[in-house]
Structure formats: structure tokens, C-alpha cells
């Protein structure tokens, strides 16, 4: 039997308990969560907001909250493998931040999404913040598009489905551009006011498909930066893969 820590942090305990309840019992209203935890409705609402932000919960169409991507079992991968990827990549990400002076992310492919597993923030007051633990549709993020572009046609269909619509056609055209120049661009598709450039880490046996991206406020980005950013990002991705392979 586990003993409660002598200096337990009540808010952390409540958030973890709420995440567990969502996973085990399914969707609930804010008032249900408050009653379940024995806290006020406003406190339950704030806890759910943080769980949604970190992908432990998601708000449903009927305004209830259910378990989020991190609790649904999709895209799971060995923790030791991701830990090895982070360990090798972090020094390279830090070097890239020093060179480009913008925030850099590391992400892995998780089904049709990308999951951010590491972020190194730049020193600007106005900057893109830490995305660690969050997920985004691969089709809108720069690193995600770089990863999709590296898939075989069969694997891409398995990830995105075989439907044909204007959005899928536009994505296919964009992926052809990504394959040609070696990196992908996200200009406000995932978040207004954000621009990111991403490249896939070349495949290494035993390592999940991964990518890196440099993200900046759009106000500080210029298309003239694309060649130098693209070259720096692809070179860093290749260096990470080489070290993983070694």
C-alpha cells in the first residue's frame, strides 16, 4: 500500500485524480468533476482546462470532458525509445536555438497526429512557448507535414484514409513541394500568428518517425529566411539521425 506524501501538493493530486477518473469512467460535466473531487466548480473548470492544454482531456461537442489523446492509448510507443531520441536530440536543438534565435521543437508521429516530446525555447520576450506533451494534426504542423512527406503512398493512406476532397488534394500538392525542397512550412495553420519550418529526422531503425521544427512569431518571420532556416534544420535533423545510428 502506498502512503500519501508528507508534503502532498493538493492541486497536482486533484489533477492526476481527475485524469484517472476521466480515463476509467469516461466523459463528465464540470459539475460532475467538481462533485467527484469535492472541489468548487470553478476549481474543477481550471483543472480541466489544464488537462485539455496538456492533452490529458478534451472537450466534447456536448460540452462534457472526456479523456484526451494521451489517455486514449493511440500512438503509444516505448518510453525508453522516446527518451533515447530526446537525449540525443536535445544538444542539437540547443545548438540550433543558438544559431537561429528561435524556439525549436522535437516531435514524433502518433497516428495522424504529431506529439511534441521536447522544446528548447529561445531568449526573446516574444517567443513561441513550450509545446512538450501537446499534440497537433500532422497535416497542419511543419514537422508533421515533413513526416507525412516521408511516408510511402500506402503508409500515407493508412494515416490519412483514402478519401478524396479539396483539403486532401491541397495537402498532396504541398507534400510534393516538401519532398522537393526537404522541409515544410506552417504559416498560421496550427495557430494564428505563428510560423514554423520543419524537417523529418532521417529514418533510423528502432526509433519512431521524428521531426524537428523552428517556430517563431509571424511578425518576426520573413520568407527571405526560408533558405537558411531550411538548410540549418535539415542539417540538424541529419546530425541527430547520424548520432542515433551510431
pLDDT at residue 166, rounded to an integer? 79
Per the CB < 8 A criterion, the answer to whether 198 and 160 are in contact is no
> Which set of grid coordinates corresponds to residue 131?
509545446
Q: Which residue has the higher pLDDT, 134 or 232?
A: 232
- Cα 68 to Cα 204: distance, rounded to the nearest angstrom: 29
Per the CB < 8 A criterion, the answer to whether 120 and 90 are in contact is yes
Per the CB < 8 A criterion, the answer to whether 96 and 231 are in contact is no
Domain residue limits, the chain: 10-71, 79-245
Neighbour count for residue 208 (Cβ, 10 Å): 20
pLDDT at residue 5, rounded to an integer? 57
Q: Provide the pLDDT confidence category of residue 2 given band limits of 50, 70 and 90.
A: very low
Neighbour count for residue 5 (Cβ, 10 Å): 8
Paired residues of 194 in beta bridges = 217
- Cα 103 to Cα 97: distance, rounded to the nearest angstrom: 6
- Cα 173 to Cα 177: distance, rounded to the nearest angstrom: 7
Q: What is the pLDDT of residues 12-70, one digit of tens each?
A: 888 988 988 887 678 899 999 998 888 999 999 999 999 998 888 999 989 999 888 77
The matching CATH number, chosen from 1.10.10.10, 3.40.50.720, 1.10.3720.10, 1.10.15.40, for 10-71 is 1.10.10.10
Name the superfamily (CATH) of residues 79-245.
GAF domain (3.30.450.40)
Per the CB < 8 A criterion, the answer to whether 15 and 46 are in contact is no
**Cell 460535466 identifies what position?**
29
> Which set of grid coordinates corresponds to residue 105?
521543437
Amino acid at each position: 500500500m502506498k502512503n500519501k506524501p508528507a508534503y502532498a501538493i493538493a492541486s497536482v493530486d486533484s489533477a492526476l485524480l481527475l485524469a484517472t477518473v476521466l480515463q476509467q469512467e469516461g466523459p463528465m460535466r464540470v459539475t460532475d468533476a467538481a462533485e467527484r473531487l469535492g472541489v468548487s466548480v470553478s476549481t474543477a473548470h481550471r483543472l480541466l482546462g489544464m488537462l485539455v492544454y496538456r492533452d490529458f482531456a478534451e472537450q466534447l461537442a456536448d460540452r462534457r470532458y472526456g479523456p484526451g489523446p494521451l489517455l486514449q492509448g493511440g500512438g503509444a510507443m516505448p518510453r525508453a525509445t522516446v527518451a533515447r531520441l530526446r537525449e540525443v536530440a536535445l544538444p542539437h536543438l540547443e545548438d540550433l536555438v543558438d544559431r537561429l534565435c528561435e524556439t525549436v521543437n522535437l516531435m514524433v508521429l502518433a497516428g495522424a497526429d504529431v506529439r511534441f516530446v521536447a522544446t528548447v525555447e529561445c531568449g526573446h520576450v516574444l517567443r513561441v512557448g513550450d509545446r512538450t506533451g501537446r499534440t497537433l494534426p500532422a497535416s497542419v504542423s511543419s514537422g508533421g507535414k515533413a513526416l507525412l512527406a516521408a511516408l510511402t503512398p500506402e503508409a500515407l493512406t493508412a494515416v490519412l484514409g483514402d478519401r478524396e476532397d479539396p483539403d486532401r488534394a491541397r495537402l498532396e500538392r504541398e507534400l510534393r513541394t516538401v519532398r522537393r525542397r526537404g522541409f515544410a512550412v506552417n504559416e498560421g495553420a496550427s495557430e494564428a500568428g505563428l510560423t514554423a519550418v520543419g524537417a523529418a529526422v532521417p529514418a533510423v531503425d528502432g526509433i519512431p518517425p521524428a521531426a524537428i521544427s523552428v517556430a517563431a512569431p509571424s511578425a518576426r518571420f520573413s520568407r527571405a529566411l526560408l533558405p537558411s532556416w531550411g538548410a540549418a534544420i535539415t542539417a540538424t535533423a541529419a546530425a541527430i539521425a547520424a548520432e542515433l545510428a551510431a
